[in-house]
Amino acid sequence: MEPSEKKNVKESEDILRKMLTETREIPVDHVPYAFEKRIMAHIEAAPQAAINLWQQWSQALWRAVVPCLAVMILVAVLDSPEAAGPQPQPAPSAPLTAQTQTTDEDLEAIVMLAIETPALDR
């Protein structure tokens, strides 16, 4: 670093230090009038808001009780067997029929085979 540059750096460093020192000396701790009252008013208002929120929630729940009960009763009535009317007879199951038919045919084929096979007797 050149000597002139060093001098320049030192000079600007001194200016910065002076700036910061003077800034530090400014009293900055003054408080607006009755600031603590404002804080306390906020604090006292905050729990009240929480209580109101709970009250609103419980009121909404109580209001919802009647419609919920009505819906529950309606669903129960519609779902009961009496309300549904006569039930249709269940259709005979197709696989079972097919199984039965197959068994009869097999039996008939066995009988016919036994009758019509003279070669076996010889």
48 binds other proteins (CB under 8 A): no
8 binds other proteins (CB under 8 A): yes
**Angle (nearest 5°) at CA 84 between 79 and 90:** 115
33 binds other proteins (CB under 8 A): no
**Which one, of 57, 61, 80, lies nearest residue 69 by Cα?**
61
CA distance linking residue 12 with residue 18, whole number of Å:
10
Q: Minimal distance in Å, beta carbon 20 to other proteins?
A: 5
* Residues making contact with other proteins (CB under 8 A): 8-9, 12-13, 15-16, 18-20, 22-26, 28-32, 35-36, 38-40, 42-44, 46-47
